[in-house]
Structure 1
Amino acid sequence: MALRYALLASLLALSLGCDSFPNGTDHAFHWWSCGAADGVSVSAVRPVNPDGSPQYPVRLDQDLHIAVDLVNNNRVFSKLSLDVTVWTWSGFFKCGWKQIPTFGLLEDLDACDMSLTCPLKTGSGPITVKLPFSKYGIIIRLLKNNAPYQLKYELSDENGNVAYCLMAQTRALTK
């Protein structure tokens, strides 16, 4: 009888727990577009070290560099703002992405000042976006190390219209 309860408890524990790294984030960076202005598209997104070499898992305790293959056939964007949203993977009975409160620290950032070379001209080509997470150590130190995170980067023009939105799921180191 005790063996049956032990087996039942083991099966329940397996069925109720979350995968440590969903969607293969233990070994690969995943991204997709969540919106864009007409004529703006991205064909590749890769986390890289400052020298351009691949970086995985990503490090959130340092500035994050993202190589992006961008096409802008819309217009020149002279001013862009950036909103960053962060989720962590967790749950017991229901696994899922839970938003991490950042208390406005990662909202309405001047993307041209901190991460992009502006104006963002028309045409296509690779660009490297720098996200200065090292400035936000107060938030980063609270995050679990070596864990899956989902990030949303939303660039908006001077009128508040979305120029490009990117979602990414990644394994991240915070220490």
Structure 2
Amino acid sequence: MLLRCLILSVLAIVASSFVLPSNLDNCAPPNGTDHQMHWWQCSNGPVQFLNATPYDSTGTKYEYPIHLSKPIVVKTQINNPTNTYVKPNLRNTVNLWKYGGWSGCTWTSIPTLGLLKDLSACDHGVPCPVKPGNQELDVTIDFTQFEQIINLLKDNQPYQLEYMLHDNQSGDDSCMMVQAWAYLQ
């Protein structure tokens, strides 16, 4: 408990120094994020992402801009040519960036102090097992359990998210980078 309080205190200090300032007045929305989510694959596979579309927490209604204070279902179309990925071997790490601020119209990393690193992917939004084949994979991204990170973010802003998967058994890596306009309320 003491360690958690220390981490939250350090996170708050870092946030007040680096994360919260944002000046988007002179910055055009990056990559058209004011109208649609922008994504790309950031790894060589073997799993290939073919599409990614944001939905509300029920997975039934297209939703954009996204709402980071609620679970988001990202319907991805993937091609998994090789292995079946299962718990506890499938792990995920999420990195975040904000746009604009003191450094101008650029992406600036948001420190998460390891809270989003090496999590069980099957327990944090990936429906396991992930079997080989071409398929829709509905991945849930849920920051509500990480309120200390949500509290660092500003409403009505563009954010960049790197969603990395690693399978400890096969050594396979997969990565998707997403840029999206986000609300917190």
Aligned to 2:30: 22
- Give 1:25-174 correspondences, 5 Å limit: 25-38=33-46, 40-49=47-56, 50-78=58-86, 79-92=89-102, 94-159=104-169, 161-174=171-184
Q: CA deviation at 1:97?
A: 0.3
Q: Percent identity?
A: 36
| Deviates further, 160-169 or 119-128 | 160-169
> Which amino acid in 2 is paired with 1:45?
A
Q: CA deviation at 1:37?
A: 2.7
Equivalent pair of 1:71/1:122 in contact (CA under 8 Å): yes
| Deviates further, 72-81 or 159-168 | 159-168
Cα 1:54/1:120, change in 2 over 3 Å = same
* 1:52-90, Cα deviation, whole Å (9 max, x unpaired): 221100010011210000111111112310100000001
Residues in 2 aligned to 1:140 and 1:36: alpha-carbon distance in whole angstroms: 30
* 1:127-159, Cα deviation, whole Å (9 max, x unpaired): 210112111112112201000000000000015
Residues in 2 aligned to 1:164 and 1:76: alpha-carbon distance in whole angstroms: 13
Residues in 2 aligned to 1:57 and 1:141: alpha-carbon distance in whole angstroms: 18
* 1:90-131, Cα deviation, whole Å (9 max, x unpaired): 134642100000111110110011211222101111121011
TM-score (norm 2): 0.80
Residues in 1 aligned to 2:103 and 2:111: alpha-carbon distance in whole angstroms: 22
| Deviates further, 109-118 or 153-162 | 153-162
Query: Aligned-residue CA RMSD in angstroms?
Result: 1.9
Q: Which runs of 5+ in 1 are unaligned?
A: 1-15
Greater per-residue strand proportion: 1
Q: CA deviation at 1:174?
A: 1.3
Aligned residues: 159
Choose 1 or 2 for highest CA Rg.
1
Q: Which 4+ stretches in 1 moved above 4 angstroms?
A: none
Equivalent pair of 2:49/2:176 in contact (CA under 8 Å): no
Residues in 1 aligned to 2:121 and 2:110: alpha-carbon distance in whole angstroms: 21
